């Protein structure tokens, strides 16, 4: 399936109505659709009468849910229709002629019901604008008189406050982290978002098979299909078809009552941007660098006007390999979940908050860490699910280390990271400190195989702070495969750099950030009670994770990218961080999953193994290295092989291992961004419509 429109930090898109929706402006009470999530008690008669197996087909799961809904409706005097199931006791139910809150109150009184919550809609945390291809350098002649200009680069990855980088305080020091590890292809990061454009050249080979959840909470409806915008329901195609909203959409009312004229916009390509920040290919002579070398698991939960809690919760569970009735099991379990989405609500012990608390506990129990954007409420409180415990909630910083005006804040924030800010505020002036990432230049539907980058457009928001931290957690997991969520949170906090207290640069006298209140707070000096423990430090966090492990093994791949069917791949296990008296004595290599293209290794020895994929596909290998004291260090690698290139009807195998992706780019753009990439990596070379940030924001 192709994509829904992004959530703002906690998402939920308008889902299908059981009956065709009338235009929003003319919708009558009788046509109002109530949508709730109901969890039955384990001992409820309707649950005991027929158990719902996680191995049930989608049709079987729906039949069980509808049987329970019908019985509940008879007891409460309300005709109910069922969607599909979040788990064996939790279902999305619909009714007409009343609001979701009214239906929730009525059903909550039933003795068989354990929990009921309105199925809210959430949106991504991008501050949206038209996706435009941006240049690498902002020239003075492109700005109005008095405006500033500078070279646009990935400032947020660099070392902070160096002799050549005196203006930037909040950057994360990625190059020093890459000197420890460039990341591991065995680390899977789920992007719970709008889907992705997998055909972007700088994301080639960076994905494992994902899923489109949009409409999962419903059996089928015109509204769900309209929100999804790809012509179908939930399926194994998480590609993003575009999430634009037009005046015609609003007038037709097909997107449901949760979509208004405020949502009218071009396509955001939000999930693609987030994916690029995390794992865009590096050392491939193209565009930009991601935080690390990982695999992205695209889980599409947002479409036009956002996405529903039910689809988001199902997507979170599926991403870590938890069985969902009527769905295939995810074989590529995520170690990190990035959720650049959200909405209003508290994370209490009842209703929607309870549902999120429960799914967060389930995800954490698998060893995965959840990273959530704090939101773009301009200094108001963090929304749901970022205000839940046991997640990493990320606020956004300006380049000088102050809270950027759009970012939410509060005691729920774990850490802060760069979120982009513009400085220039005049018409047609470029954004000087954007979060550069991959995108698509289509304003509605996508441009196929587009190699567009956000460049100097005002691409800012906590949506882009969160993936920076997700990438850092991925680097931590690369040196500590058993990293838990509690460990990740503790390390991020203990290694954070202190917030600045002077030198804001834009606002002459910004205030100290205060606890959230009913009025906005623009740029302010962060405190540990409002913006988390401090400014995230990638290098210190990765070093701390490695020290906690007492050493680790990394796997390097040659060729590093661009592997094709029939080509030999050499894998090398390298020990890092071992005590001085320890060395690797042996390595056992295992094909964990051959993906139909690999059955065994061509050769193995103490540190290396070779393998030749027979066709295009993705396979997983594991290295178990034992040191001279008998301690075993484990690392995995997930490798994607493309179909062999053909020339004149014959198959050819490329010999250049440095290439990655395709697509034509201008020579100027390529040269400028290649120079920027070199500046980012002095040694290792590892690899929305943001409202323009106004002065003081």
Known active-site residue 199: no
**Angle, nearest 10°, between helix axes 351-365 and 309-319?**
10
Q: How far is CA 170 from CA 9, 274, 411, 540, in A?
A: 22, 19, 20, 14
Q: Which residue has the tokens 């400032």?
A: 155
Q: Determine which one of 46, 221, 340, 463 is catalytic.
A: 463
Burial class (CB in 10 A: 0-12, 13-18, 19+), 416: buried
Report the Cα 128 to chain-centroid distance in Å.
17
Report the Cα 258 to chain-centroid distance in Å.
23
Report the Cα 412 to chain-centroid distance in Å.
19
The total of other beta-carbon atoms located within 10 Å of residue 615's CB is 15
The total of other beta-carbon atoms located within 10 Å of residue 203's CB is 24
Burial class (CB in 10 A: 0-12, 13-18, 19+), 146: exposed
Q: Determine which one of 119, 193, 240, 522 is catalytic.
A: 193
Q: Determine which one of 91, 96, 124, 270 is catalytic.
A: 270
Report the C-alpha gap between 653 and 568 in whole angstroms.
10
Burial class (CB in 10 A: 0-12, 13-18, 19+), 187: buried
Known active-site residue 200: no
Query: Cβ contacts of residue 375 below 8 Å, gap of 6+?
Result: 8, 9, 10, 125, 342, 382, 383, 386, 407, 408, 462
Do 267 and 280 form a contact (C-beta atoms < 8 A)? no
User: Residue 139 in 3-state DSSP?
Assistant: coil
Nearest alpha carbon to residue 44 among 98, 97, 101, 114: 114
Report the C-alpha gap between 429 and 458 in whole angstroms.
10
Pairing mode, if any, of strands 211-212 and 295-300? parallel
Report CA torsion sign: 104, 106, 109, 111: negative
Burial class (CB in 10 A: 0-12, 13-18, 19+), 655: exposed
Known active-site residue 463: yes
Catalogue the active-site residues. Answer: 193, 270, 463
């Amino acid at each position: 399936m192709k994509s829904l429109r992004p959530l703002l930090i906690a998402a939920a898109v308008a889902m299908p109505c059981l009956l065709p929706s009338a235009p929003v402006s003319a919708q009558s009470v009788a046509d109002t659709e109530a949508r709730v999530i109901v969890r039955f008690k384990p001992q409820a008669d309707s649950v005991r009468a027929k158990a719902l197996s996680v191995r049930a087909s989608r049709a079987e799961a729906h039949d069980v849910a509808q049987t329970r809904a019908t019985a509940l409706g008879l007891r409460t005097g309300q005709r109910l229709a069922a969607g599909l199931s979040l788990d064996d006791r939790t279902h999305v139910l619909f009714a007409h002629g009343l609001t979701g809150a009214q239906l929730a109150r009525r059903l909550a009184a039933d003795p068989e019901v354990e929990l009921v919550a309105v199925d809210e809609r959430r949106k991504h945390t991008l501050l949206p604008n038209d996706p435009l291809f941006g240049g690498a350098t902002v020239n003075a002649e492109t700005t109005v008189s008095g405006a500033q200009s500078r070279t646009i680069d990935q400032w947020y990855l660099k070392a902070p406050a160096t002799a050549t980088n005196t203006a930037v305080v909040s950057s994360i020091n990625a190059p020093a982290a890459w000197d420890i590890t460039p990341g591991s292809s065995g680390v899977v990061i789920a992007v719970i978002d709008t889907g992705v454009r997998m055909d972007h050249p700088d994301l080639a080979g960076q994905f494992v098979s994902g899923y489109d959840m949009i409409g999962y909470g419903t059996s089928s409806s015109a509204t769900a299909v309209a929100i999804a915008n790809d012509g179908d329901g939930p399926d194994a195609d998480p590609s993003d078809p575009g999430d634009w909203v037009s005046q015609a959409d609003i007038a037709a009312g097909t997107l449901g009552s949760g979509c208004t004229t405020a949502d009218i916009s071009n396509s955001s390509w939000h999930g693609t941007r987030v994916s690029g920040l995390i794992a865009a290919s590096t050392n491939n002579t193209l565009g930009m660098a991601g935080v690390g070398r990982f695999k992205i698991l695209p889980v599409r939960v947002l479409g036009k006007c956002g996405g529903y809690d039910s689809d988001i919760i199902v997507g979170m569970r599926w991403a870590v390999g938890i069985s969902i009735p009527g769905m295939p099991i995810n074989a590529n379990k995520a170690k990190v979940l990035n959720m650049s989405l959200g909405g209003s609500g508290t994370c209490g012990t009842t209703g929607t908050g309870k549902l999120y608390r429960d799914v967060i506990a389930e995800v954490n129990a698998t060893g995965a860490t959840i990273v959530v954007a704090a939101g773009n409420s301009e200094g108001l409180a963090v929304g749901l699910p970022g205000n839940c415990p046991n997640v990493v909630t990320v606020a956004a910083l300006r380049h000088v280390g102050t809270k950027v005006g759009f970012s939410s804040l509060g005691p729920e924030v774990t850490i802060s990271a760069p979120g982009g800010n513009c400085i220039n505020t005049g018409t047609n002036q470029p954004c000087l400190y954007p979060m550069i990432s991959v995108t698509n230049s289509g304003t509605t539907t996508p441009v196929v195989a587009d190699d567009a980058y956000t460049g100097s457009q005002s691409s800012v928001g906590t949506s882009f702070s969160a993936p920076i931290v997700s990438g850092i957690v991925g680097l931590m997991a690369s040196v500590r495969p058993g990293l838990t969520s509690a460990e990740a949170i503790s390390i991020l906090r203990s290694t954070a750099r202190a917030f600045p207290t002077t030198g804001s640069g834009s606002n002459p006298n910004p205030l100290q950030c205060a606890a959230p209140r009913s009025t906005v707070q623009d740029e302010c000096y962060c405190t540990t009670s409002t913006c988390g423990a401090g400014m995230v430090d990638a290098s210190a966090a990765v070093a701390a994770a490695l020290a906690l492990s007492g050493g680790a093994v990394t796997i390097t791949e040659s060729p590093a990218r661009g592997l094709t069917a029939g080509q030999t791949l050499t894998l090398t296990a390298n020990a890092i961080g071992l005590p001085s008296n320890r060395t690797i004595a042996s390595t056992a290599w295992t094909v964990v999953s051959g993906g139909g293209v690999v059955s065994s290794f061509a050769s193995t020895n103490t540190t290396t193994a070779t393998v030749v994929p027979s066709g295009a596909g993705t396979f997983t290998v594991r290295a178990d290295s034992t040191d001279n004291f008998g301690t075993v260090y484990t690392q995995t690698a997930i490798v994607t092989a493309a179909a062999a290139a053909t020339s004149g009807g014959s198959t050819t195998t490329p010999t250049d291992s440095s290439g990655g992706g395709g697509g034509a780019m201008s020579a100027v753009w390529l040269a400028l961004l290649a120079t920027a990439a070199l500046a980012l990596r002095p040694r290792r070379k590892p690899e929305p419509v943001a409202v323009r940030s106004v002065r003081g924001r």
